[in-house]
Structures are given as C-alpha cells and as structure tokens.
C-alpha cells in the first residue's frame, strides 16, 4: 500500500500551487506566501486583468489565468493550461465566495431564484469542478517527503457552520461546499491527497494602501478584530506541510474577539 521507497527525501521545491478565485484578500496573501516559499503559483479569476493580479505577476511571478470556474469546460482547460505552463499542481486552493450582488440580505420570500442558483453555481458547483480536476492530476504525482501527493483547500465561511437570517442561498452554498469537502476527504485522503475545509468565521480585512486593514462592508479592522489574510495563508501553508500521519480536515479561523 505504501510507496515509501519512492518518496522524496526533501520538501519539494517543485511545488505548484493553483489558486482558483483571485482578488485582494486570501488569494493574494496565499500567492505571495507560496511564492516566497519557492512554489510556482498560478491564480485564476473570472477576469485575469485586475490590477491586483497584474501586480502579483510583476512582484512574485504569479501566472494569471482567466477562468469562469462554474463552467466545466473552462475549469478543465484551466488545469490543462497550468500543467502545460507550470506542471501538475500539488496544492489547489478553491477560494470563491460566489455571492452575486443581488442575493445579499434578501429575505427567503424575496430572494430571486436565479440569483440563488448563480450563487450556488459560483460557489459549490465550482468547488465540485475544481475538486474533480485536481485529484485527477494529483493522483499521478510522486509522494513528497510528507507522504502526500497533493493538498486541496476549500476556503469557506461562517455560513458553513450556521445559517444566518437573510442569507439562505449563501448558507446552502457554503454547507454544500463543506459536504463536498468532507466527502472528498474520505475518498481522497487514503489515496494520499489531503483535503481540508477552512471556514473563516469573520470579516476578512486586507491591507490597504495606507497600511490599515479593512473590509469593503465591515470597515476598518481595530485591534485585530478582522481576520488578516496574510495569517490565513500561514495556516494554509501549514496544512499543506502536515505529514500524512497527522492530517487535519476542518480548521476554523476566527479573530480572538469574535463572538461565536
């Protein structure tokens, strides 16, 4: 069952990371940290020409890919392109929130069904598509020094843990994603692929040009009361580096002062 004889003896310098869903928050922090740690990093977003992604390319050599992650053919093509350009991924982060603007703060009786469906497609369905492509490639990877062939991390939200009022569609999407992650963990961990679900139980405040940290709706972070995406990325990296004798599945991250 084991292939320890084929295992690399050193942590791999050939790590290829693919981050699906790219913006100024967790994805940028991951791209920076992964690149700093010697990985080749790909980042995919619906629009690959955002300034934040151009900047990552310039500063850290991150490869940019345009991809509608809710489209099966587009996701398949994304993985093909990443393999062609960088090699087979050893770390895949699904980092898509998925909410469309019209679904925010809608009573169940007034939520537009097409907006709810779009949210599900963007979030849980794209997670399924990414979760399907990643192990097809990872299965062929050699075991690294930790006995792993790859890591798949699903960024999730508080709604994966509890359904809030006026947030039915998002709760559906997040809990669907959590269920997918749990099922994939059961299926893939024995095959050497580490699957994790990471609900971020807080607003995420990313560093602004003036050095403060802030969230678009929640305002400015005071005394670390919002999750710092640079710190989230550190936990993602630690999960990726866990030895296969001690793999975590669910890791909730929340600020010290967050009520839960």
Partner 1 sequence: MKPVCLVIGAGAGIGGNVARRFAQEGYHACLCRRSDLDGLNRMVNAIKNDGGSATGFLLNAVEPNSIEERVAAIEADIGPIEVVVYNLGAQIGDRSLKDTSLKAFETGWRLGTFGLFRLASAVCPLMEARGKGTILVTSATAAMRGNGGQHSHAAAMGGRRMLCQTLNAEFASKGIHVAHIVIDGAVDAPDTLGKMLGPERFQQLRETRGNEHDGLMLPAQIAETYLHLAQQHRSTWTFEIDIRAFSDRPWWNH
By CB under 8 A, name the binding residues for partner 1. 1-2, 4, 147-148, 182, 185-186, 189-190, 192, 194, 200, 205, 221, 224-228, 231-232, 234-235, 238, 241-258
Closest approach of Cβ 230 to partner 1, in Å? 8
**At residue 24, what are phi and psi to the nearest 5 degrees?**
-85, -10
Closest approach of Cβ 247 to partner 1, in Å? 5
Of 97, 91, 94, the residue nearest 33 (C-alpha): 91
Pairing of strands 219-220, 213-215: antiparallel
Question: Which CB, 86 or 233, lies closer to partner 1?
Answer: 233
Question: Which CB, 129 or 174, lies closer to partner 1?
Answer: 174
Closest approach of Cβ 46 to partner 1, in Å? 26
Question: Which CB, 168 or 192, lies closer to partner 1?
Answer: 192
Buried b (16+ CB within 10 A) or exposed e, 57-82: eeebebbbbebbbbeeebbeebbebb
DSSP state, residue 34:
H
Question: Which CB, 122 or 221, lies closer to partner 1?
Answer: 221
Length of the chain: 260
Under 8 Å between Cβ of 20 and 94: yes
Question: Which CB, 41 or 143, lies closer to partner 1?
Answer: 143
Closest approach of Cβ 104 to partner 1, in Å? 24
Closest approach of Cβ 18 to partner 1, in Å? 21
Of 49, 34, 48, 21, the residue nearest 86 (C-alpha): 34
Closest approach of Cβ 206 to partner 1, in Å? 11
Question: Which CB, 114 or 212, lies closer to partner 1?
Answer: 212
Question: Which CB, 42 or 159, lies closer to partner 1?
Answer: 159
Phi-psi region of 224 (alpha: psi -120 to 50; beta: other; left: phi over 0): left
3-state SS, residue 172: helix
Q: For Cα atoms 10, 14, 18, give the angle at the middle one, nearest 5 degrees.
A: 130
Buried b (16+ CB within 10 A) or exposed e, 147-158: bbbbbbbbbbbb
Token pair belonging to 124: 């849980």
Closest approach of Cβ 189 to partner 1, in Å? 5
């Amino acid at each position: 069952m084991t292939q320890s004889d084929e295992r690399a003896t050193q942590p791999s310098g050939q790590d290829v990371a693919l981050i699906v869903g790219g913006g100024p928050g967790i994805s940028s922090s991951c791209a920076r940290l992964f690149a700093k740690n010697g990985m080749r990093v790909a980042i995919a977003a619906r629009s690959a020409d955002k300034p934040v992604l151009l900047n990552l390319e310039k500063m850290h050599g991150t490869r940019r890919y345009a991809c509608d992650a809710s489209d099966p053919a587009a996701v398949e093509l994304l993985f093909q392109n990443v393999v062609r350009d960088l090699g087979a991924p050893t770390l895949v982060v699904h980092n898509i929130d998925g909410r469309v603007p019209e679904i925010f703060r809608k009573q169940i009786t007034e939520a537009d069904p097409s907006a709810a469906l779009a949210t599900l497609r963007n979030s849980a369905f794209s997670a399924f598509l990414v979760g399907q492509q990643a192990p097809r490639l990872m299965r062929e990877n050699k075991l690294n020094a930790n006995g792993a062939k790859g890591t798949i991390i699903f960024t999730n939200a508080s709604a994966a843990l509890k359904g809030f009022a006026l947030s039915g569609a998002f709760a559906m999407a997040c809990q669907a994603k959590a269920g997918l992650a749990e099922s994939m963990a059961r299926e893939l961990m024995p095959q050497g692929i580490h699957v994790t679900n990471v609900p971020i139980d807080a607003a995420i405040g990313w560093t602004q040009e003036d050095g403060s940290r802030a969230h678009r709706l929640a305002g400015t972070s005071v005394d670390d009361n919002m999750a710092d995406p640079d710190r989230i990325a550190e936990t993602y990296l630690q999960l990726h580096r866990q030895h296969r004798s001690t793999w975590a599945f669910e890791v909730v991250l929340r600020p010290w002062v967050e009520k839960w």
